[in-house]
Structure 1
């Protein structure tokens, strides 16, 4: 297993450190974050300090729970836990993300990174469970390939009530194989004003900003080139777009494929709730796809579609 930390597209997955206590206590004390979790909120800084110290001292490959810290732009935004069975071949996974960073693909990105490490280490099966009302976590697990294997009715006593649990499982044989030489394509979308486009994709559509040109990791011109010539990467799950500011920008068409019609409806509700103008709400089109359409500030058409069940 490679050494920590690991850098993903937008995140750093690492060990916990003493400096994480305040941020850890803050997001774990949020009642919306703890609603479907097993701990009692709020979490004091004393208790958070004890937990973080234990996390930092744990051995990643040893049986028991190991907690990974998830960092974005130098800030702790969540954690992913792996509970390794004594036999070293089975594990459980759990995850928590601070509320301001939910719905932007960060949890999926972090859990995928951790699962890569777990399966590379020889684990055969990873299990997960969640409160049946926690639809966001259930959908995340399904996006990553977990099978829903059952429902335990009134199985867990949490926060003063009996709750149903959904059960999920994922086998190493079902986990994606190593990426081929050409592993992604990032369309270059021409825009007239980068700041306006970033606000649209980030604030209305929930994309994360992978880099802007002024970020050293995104520079590939000479040192005397402008700090911000107008290029940025925006990312949400499998969609990676490069936005490039040019004077003569013209609209194009982007096709965003999703797995199910339910996910199309979920994106419609999310984006409409954020204030995005939907040009054409979801419906079955004459060519058989369940699709909605919206336009970015430059008139680029975003088609979001899935095959009807």
Structure 2
């Protein structure tokens, strides 16, 4: 492997150098940074100097640990470690960001960059684990597409107490098939109308929207005869805007359609929001029209439909 340093958004991913010793010692000696890590703080400068020298001399792509330095604004802000298995097809991942530089997206950009390099080199699977209390790291891994694969109770003796471990895994095919950017990439408001035919005439004839489909059309419904359907629904679009029009009599609530790239991302949002106490009206499953969808309720009873194509 070659090509370091690499720019990745706000950060630069590069090799360690002797000039990094002071910054490396400082953030690894912070008790808050070391809280869920395997080392004890503070880290003696002599130990840090030896580690940095080993990092600088290591060969990227060789079995064992390789530590990438993460730089932002000309300052070392953290590191990302990859432990490559002897078969060079599996790896473990770890990352650390200095407390003063957290919550700026540096870790996400740096880990994404490293994963690009690792998978491009032929690795088929990357594993990661973290203390169950380390919710920030767990959420970062899930944002990047890792699947939570296990929970080990009281498994690790860490700093005088037994800790629970969360286990994560990411496959090369999932990484290469994942769309870039955030999970939710579009919202299609569902406007509830008294007469969908009249509304279609207004949006199409007066406002110049294209009619994408009408629910009553077989092509638009994706359903067989006798299957449940929502009457009087259509989609109109112009430029980058899409609107759902649904004919509903009487009192009603608004519905929003949140589009997500993959079924795995729907599942991650489902777990995240459920853990945060969100009311999940219907968990994710493949609907008759082929979308993988879950439905949430906001405090006013409005319905949020979060959907993606089904898993292949």
TM-score bucket of the superposed structures, by smaller chain: 0.5 to 0.7
Secondary structure in structure 1 of the residue aligned to 2:157: strand
In structure 1, distance between residues paired with 2:119 and 2:65: 16
**Residues 107-162 of structure 1 deviation map (CA, whole Å, 9 limit, x = unaligned):** 11110000000000000000000011111111111111111111111111111111
In structure 2, distance between residues paired with 1:287 and 1:154: 41
Partner of 2:105 in structure 1?
105
Partner of 2:304 in structure 1?
289
Partner of 1:18 in structure 2?
18
In structure 2, distance between residues paired with 1:263 and 1:96: 26
Q: CA deviation at 1:286?
A: 5.4
In structure 1, distance between residues paired with 2:179 and 2:138: 25
Secondary structure in structure 1 of the residue aligned to 2:117: helix
Gap change, CA 1:17 and 1:256, over 3 Å in 2: farther
Partner of 2:118 in structure 1?
118
**Residues 283-306 of structure 1 deviation map (CA, whole Å, 9 limit, x = unaligned):** 44654239xxxxxxxxxxxxxxx7
**Residues 206-227 of structure 1 deviation map (CA, whole Å, 9 limit, x = unaligned):** xxxxxxxxxxxxxxxxxxxxxx
Secondary structure in structure 2 of the residue aligned to 1:12: strand
Secondary structure in structure 1 of the residue aligned to 2:176: coil
Partner of 1:127 in structure 2?
127
In structure 2, distance between residues paired with 1:83 and 1:40: 21
Query: Which ranges of 4 or more aligned residues in structure 1 deviate by more than 2 Å?
Result: 176-180, 255-266, 282-287
Q: CA deviation at 1:176?
A: 3.3
Gap change, CA 1:44 and 1:263, over 3 Å in 2: farther
In structure 2, distance between residues paired with 1:165 and 1:287: 37
Partner of 1:31 in structure 2?
31
Segment of structure 1 superposing worse, 153-162 or 79-88: 153-162
User: Which structure is larger by alpha-carbon Rg, 1 or 2?
Assistant: 2
Q: CA deviation at 1:3?
A: 1.1
Q: Which runs of 5+ in 2 are unaligned?
A: 186-257, 277-296, 308-312
**Residues 40-82 of structure 1 deviation map (CA, whole Å, 9 limit, x = unaligned):** 1101111110000000000001000000000001000000000
In structure 2, distance between residues paired with 1:179 and 1:120: 16
TM-score, normalised on structure 2?
A: 0.60
Gap change, CA 1:119 and 1:161, over 3 Å in 2: same
Is structure 2 residue 40 aligned with structure 1 residue 40? yes
Partner of 1:157 in structure 2?
157
In structure 1, distance between residues paired with 2:51 and 2:259: 41
Partner of 2:243 in structure 1?
none
Secondary structure in structure 2 of the residue aligned to 1:165: strand
Map residues 200-219 of structure 1 onto 2, 5 A cutoff. none
In structure 2, distance between residues paired with 1:123 and 1:265: 32
Gap change, CA 1:263 and 1:71, over 3 Å in 2: farther
CA RMSD between the two structures: 2.7
Gap change, CA 1:106 and 1:285, over 3 Å in 2: farther
Partner of 2:218 in structure 1?
none
Is structure 2 residue 91 aligned with structure 1 residue 91? yes
Gap change, CA 1:39 and 1:173, over 3 Å in 2: same
Secondary structure in structure 2 of the residue aligned to 1:162: strand
In structure 2, distance between residues paired with 1:18 and 1:91: 26
In structure 2, distance between residues paired with 1:109 and 1:27: 19
Map residues 189-204 of structure 1 onto 2, 5 A cutoff. none
In structure 2, distance between residues paired with 1:179 and 1:265: 25
